[in-house]
A and B are shown apart, each in its own frame.
Chain A
Amino acid sequence: QVQLKESGPGLVQPSQTLSLTCTVSGFSLTSYHVGWVRQPPGKGLEWMGVIWTGGSTAYNSLLKSRLSISRDISKSQVFLKMNSLQTEDTATYYCARDLRPFDYWGQGVMVTVSS
Chain B
Amino acid sequence: EIVLTQSPTTMAASPGEKVTITCRASSSVSYMHWFQQKSGTSPKPWIYDTSKLASGVPDRFSGSGSGTSYSLTISSMEAEDAATYYCLQRSSYPWTFGGGTKLELK
- List residues of chain A with CB under 8 Å of any chain B CB: 37, 44-47, 58-62, 94, 100-103, 105-108
- Which residues of B, 54-106, contact A by the 8 Å Cβ criterion? 54, 86, 88, 90, 93-100
With a CB–CB cut-off of 8 A, which chain B residues contact A47? 88, 94-97
A45 touches B43 (CB 8 A): yes
Chain A residue, CB-CB nearest to B1: A61
User: In whole angstroms, what is the CA distance A101 to B88 when docked?
Assistant: 9
Check B93 against A58 for contact (C-beta < 8 Å).
yes
Q: A44-B98, A44-B100, A61-B1 are in contact. Are A105 and B93 (CB under 8 A)?
A: no
Number of residues in B with C-beta < 8 Å to the partner? 22
* 5 tightest A-B CB contacts, nearest first: A105-B42, A60-B94, A47-B95, A45-B97, A100-B48
B99 → A minimal CB distance (Å): 5
Contact for B86 among A44, A58, A60, A107, CB less than 8 A? A44
- Once the chains bind, are A61 and B99 in contact (CB under 8 Å)? no
B12 CB to nearest chain A CB (Å): 19
Asked if B24 lies at the interface with its beta carbon under 8 angstroms from chain A, I say no
Partner of B33, one of A60, A101, A108: A101
Question: 5 A-B Cβ contacts within 8 A?
Answer: A47-B94, A100-B49, A102-B33, A102-B45, A106-B42
